[in-house]
Structure 1
């Protein structure tokens, strides 16, 4: 039987204008599972855990003094965790749901992954949209010979599968890479902050694993996905469209982004452009923001909204 290493684990949660009740449930669940619970407030969450005084007292709350973006908040969370001697950080968005054994299960998955592959730097659970009630897991993605394929199952008894990218929420990460300088790109601000980090650490020889035996509920967008021509597209505000299009183009210009992913992301961007014009309520504003975002991504004008 595998003995899971005794490691210090911090949970880092980033919030911006959250649903306080959903966020509180996440933090209360995580608080009993980790050695250190850190919340980075990018705006609108000062009342977090006000209804749970003891949990609020043990929370490491950091006011980012305005929306500094996901990358800046994650870097601050890692800084606090590393300075406190944490070995691992599990990152979360504000709208995820953490089952009582999530962190322990991810720790066991990391231990198993390291037995298989000493270069494993992060593992993640399979995730599903917590709002649709169907509990259908989204796939992981893996590229072989420059072909990207979705992965829905694993031959590994622990459900592990080597993957190209992981999402922020639920990612169980060794602090080693961050300490060595692989910090989050703060210029991307929100979209692709996780994917770009994954591309970068993989380019330096680290590996990532998804664990199909561990599941987590998560809200992937402002509203449930919409089907267009049989494909699922996420609903976002025009401002978020700007960030998505800007980040996609910017990431595709980075040398450490694999060629197969550049092709996939750019093709998907074209499809999203037309699909968004069908599903978005404010079509004219979305059109303007998508075009502006793509231009700024090409010009490498990153950071807050421009």
Structure 2
């Protein structure tokens, strides 16, 4: 059983040393796929390590394209399990082995194992969502769930482990989504292909989602991510497109996306700067989704 990891980079603000050091100890092969960064990645400490490969792309083609490049490269070497990370990820010793143990304890139709995660900005734990029998359940996991099969319908890219045979069956990630909801669409496609996705409650992964803060208004909780207007566009466009794409297989997606977009708009109106521009790009995203106009916004 061989393992590989793909780290996607684009002008990283912090060194990759900690993440690379851990992955090179825990994985058979590590790929850094760089989306044409304008700054030095500072990989000199690892430049002669036989397990590390740096792939520099000629332009920023988005996270999905970079991940697909990594998967294709690892597939050539017969890698069985692939871990995916963004450039701000941090892991501890035993991270890889813990995910593999979950795969080993479950049936071969398990395609993906994701860690629990803690958002360092809002200081809140993840809420997972499960679509099942026409219903939608939202829940959190904790160490008390260790040993149980915790299914989820969605997992973020960073920290996830994917079985290569499942990836080959489901197909590559959608590079026409460019960035947001790339992971969400991929998760739904895996499930449509007959696979299940699990949460590993034995590992809690520290992660930063945008510049998220937490606010209370009229008894409701808002967590603005303070994304740019471009990210607001992709979130809107890809969310509405995904809801339309899977309306027959996962009708709950339309409700979930609508609730998410109401939350997004509320966050922009109540707490974020650049309100008018962000709202206009949310509307533009919706219009482009209706017209199936995808790809990188130019």
TM value normalised by structure 1: 0.88
In structure 2, list runs of 5 or more residues that go unmatched: none
- Aligned residue for 1:29? 22
Q: What corresponds to 1:273 in structure 2? A: 265
Quick one: distance in 2 between partners of 1:68 and 1:202? Answer: 26
CA distance in 2, matches of 1:228, 1:70: 33
Please identify, of 236-245 and 285-294, the stretch whose mean Cα deviation from structure 2 is larger: 285-294
Give matches, 1:146-165, under 5 Å: 146-153=134-141, 157-165=146-154
Alignment partner of 1:139 is 2:127: yes
Write out aligned runs for 1:194-209 (5 A): 194-209=183-198
Secondary structure of 1:60's counterpart equals strand
Report 1:35-114 matches (<5 A).
35-44=28-37, 47-54=40-47, 58-114=51-107
Contact 1:113 1:209 in 2 (8 A): no
- Contact 1:196/1:257 (8 A) holds in 2: no
- Cα deviation digits, residues 12-54 of structure 1 (max 9, x gap): 1111222132x33222221211001011111326622334144
Q: Conserved in 2, the CA contact under 8 Å of 1:141 and 1:165?
A: yes
Matched, 1:284 2:273: no
CA distance in 2, matches of 1:238, 1:257: 31
- Indicate conservation of the 8 Å contact 1:242/1:289, yes or no: yes
1:96-130 alpha-carbon deviations (Å, 9 max, x no partner): 1111211111111121133xxx3111111101113
C-alpha distance in 2 between matches for 1:184 and 1:214: 25
Specify the SS of the correspondent of 1:305.
coil
- Are the equivalent residues in 2 in contact too, given 1:40–1:61 (CA < 8 A)? yes
Q: Larger deviation: 271-280 or 146-155?
A: 146-155
Shift of the 121–145 alpha-carbon distance from structure 1 to 2, 3 Å rule, reads: same
Correspondent of 1:129 among 116, 119, 122: 119
Q: What's the CA shift for 1:301?
A: 1.0
Question: Equivalent residue for 2:14?
Answer: 20
Per the TM alignment, residue 295 of structure 1 is displaced from its structure 2 partner at its CA by 1.1
CA RMSD of aligned residues (A): 2.1
Which residue in the other structure is 1:191 paired with?
A: 180
2:230 alignment counterpart: 239
Q: Indicate the larger mover: 154-163 or 197-206.
A: 154-163
CA distance in 2: counterparts of 1:41 and 1:257, whole angstroms: 35
User: Is the 1:9–1:89 Cα contact (8 Å) retained in structure 2?
Assistant: yes
What is the deviation of 1:152?
2.3
Instruction: Give the 3-state SS of the residue equivalent to 1:143 in structure 2.
Output: strand
Structure 2 equivalent of residue 224 of structure 1: 212
* Alpha-carbon shift at residue 160 of structure 1 (Å): 3.3
Kept in 1: contact 2:116–2:141 (CA 8 A): no
Asked if the contact 2:30–2:53 (Cα under 8 Å) also holds between the matched residues in 1, the reply is yes
Normalising by structure 2, we get a TM-score of 0.91
Deviates more, 1:47-56 or 1:84-93: 47-56
For residue 186 of structure 1, report the CA deviation from its aligned partner. Answer: 0.9
Which position in structure 1 is the counterpart of 2:287? 295
Q: 1:214 to 1:42 in 2, by over 3 A?
A: same
